[in-house]
Amino acid sequence: MNKDLFLALNHWAVVGDVLNPEKFAYKIVQKLLRKGYEVSRVHPRGGDGVYVSLKDLPKQPDVLCLVINPKTGLEYVTEAAGLGVTHAWLQPGADAEEVVKHCQGLGMQVVQSCVLVELGLREKAEESRE
pLDDT for residue 116 is more than 90: yes
- The rounded percent of the chain whose pLDDT value lies above 90 is 90
pLDDT by residue (tens digit) across 29-72?
Answer: 999 999 999 999 999 999 999 999 999 999 999 999 999 999 99
pLDDT for residue 129 is more than 80: no
Average pLDDT in the chain: 95
Within 10 angstroms of residue 68's Cβ, the number of other Cβ atoms is 25
**Mean predicted confidence (pLDDT) in 16-20:** 96
130, 38 Cβ separation under 8 angstroms: no
pLDDT for residue 103 is more than 90: yes
66, 77 Cβ separation under 8 angstroms: yes
6, 37 Cβ separation under 8 angstroms: no
pLDDT for residue 95 is more than 90: yes
